[in-house]
Structure 1
Amino acid sequence: MNTKELLLSVLMGGPATGYDIKKVMEHDVSTLVDVSLSNLYPALNELAAEGLVTFRKVEQDNRPNKKIYELTAAGQEACLRALMKGDARHRLRSEFIFILSFVPFLPRWRVKELLDQRLADTNAVLEDLDRRDAEDNGTLREGQRFCIGFGRAMMEAQRDYIIAHGAELLDSCPDENPLRAVSAD
């Protein structure tokens, strides 16, 4: 999905300020798909010019005015068309996995560092998913609840795999930094 389609999908949740949209894009959407936030406001202006969103200006005391964006019926239709035509690919792209594919060349301390960081990141994601689940006062749609559960299952499987097999991987690593052997020549 392109940036404009992602913006429309965020607004499916209801009216929001540009700041609120940016927060959702940064914290929620970007964890699932690649997001470019550099053209967020120009894209919102284009959507308004195309009649897919409307906005109203709200004056604030001692602060800049803000705009509250809302989908039009045409915007909702455009969002649904984008969701219907999307490929819904699920890709595994990971620098972590790429780097670990070179384990025979990495010292044990580096691999341990990578595993520990991945576990910490995974646990942080699980805590965030737990928080979102706990904060649900019936406001999450069924699809959102499914996604939280799906994400939890993936993160738990990742954590469990690292815990179960990390020691084997560490045992296969050289003790010394292989670069020392190369630089000694």
Structure 2
Amino acid sequence: MNTKELLLSVLMSGPATGYDIKKTMENEVSTLLDVSLSNLYPALNELATEGLVTFKKVEQDNRPNKKVYELTDAGRTAALRALMSGGAKHRLRSEFIFILSFAPFLPRSRVSELLDQRLAETNEVLRDLDRREAEEALQEGQRFCIGFGRAMMEAQRDYIMKHSAELLATCPDDVRELNRAGA
């Protein structure tokens, strides 16, 4: 999906300020997709010009005015069309996995560090999913996605905990051993 389609999809949940949309893109959408926020506001302006969103200017005391964006009927149709036509590919792209594929060439301390970092990150994601799940206003699709994400994170955590000793056993003890092996 392109940026404009992502913005339309985010607005399906209801009216939002540009700031709220940006936060949703940063905190939620970017955990699922690669998103570029550099053209967020120009894209919102284009959507307004195309008649897919409307906005109201809201004056604020002692703060800059803000715009609240809302889908038009045509915008909702365009968002649904984008969601219906997308390929829904699921990719596994991970620098972590790539680097660990070279574990037999890396010092055990580096591989252990990577595994520990990944476990910490996984546990942080699980805590975040717990927080999101506790929110009362979740739609069923959001609830499903949180559960799906939890299943993936728990499987990742469990796999690392069960198999890390095997991986670490393949690693040289230190850099000197690594240099001898390469010489």
**TM category, shorter:** over 0.9
Aligned residue-pair number: 182
TM-score between both structures, scaled by the size of structure 1: 0.95
Show the 5 A alignment for 1:1-185: 1-135=1-135, 137=136, 139-177=137-175, 181=179
| Residue pair 1:106, 1:178 contacting (<8 A) in 2 also | no
> How many angstroms does 1:13 deviate by?
0.5
Deviations 1:83-120 (A, max 9, x none): 00000000000000000011111000000000000000
SS of match in other structure, 1:93? coil
SS of match in other structure, 2:69? strand
Deviations 1:134-183 (A, max 9, x none): 12x2x21111100000000000000000000011111110001269627x
Paired with 1:166 and 1:91, the residues of 2 have a C-alpha distance of 23
Paired with 1:61 and 1:177, the residues of 2 have a C-alpha distance of 61
SS of match in other structure, 2:59? strand
Deviations 1:19-75 (A, max 9, x none): 000000000000001100000000000000000000000001110000000000000
| Residue pair 1:8, 1:79 contacting (<8 A) in 2 also | yes
| Residue pair 2:51, 2:75 contacting (<8 A) in 1 also | yes
| Residue pair 1:129, 1:148 contacting (<8 A) in 2 also | yes
Q: Runs ≥4 in structure 1, deviation > 3 angstroms?
A: none
The residue type equivalent to 1:158 in the other structure is: Q
Return 5+ residue gaps in structure 1 as ranges: none
Return 5+ residue gaps in structure 2 as ranges: none
The residue type equivalent to 1:119 in the other structure is: L
TM-score between both structures, scaled by the size of structure 2: 0.96
The residue type equivalent to 1:76 in the other structure is: R
Paired with 1:21 and 1:152, the residues of 2 have a C-alpha distance of 24
| Residue pair 1:18, 1:68 contacting (<8 A) in 2 also | yes
The residue type equivalent to 1:22 in the other structure is: K
| Residue pair 2:55, 2:69 contacting (<8 A) in 1 also | yes
Percentage of pairs with the same residue: 79
The residue type equivalent to 1:73 in the other structure is: D
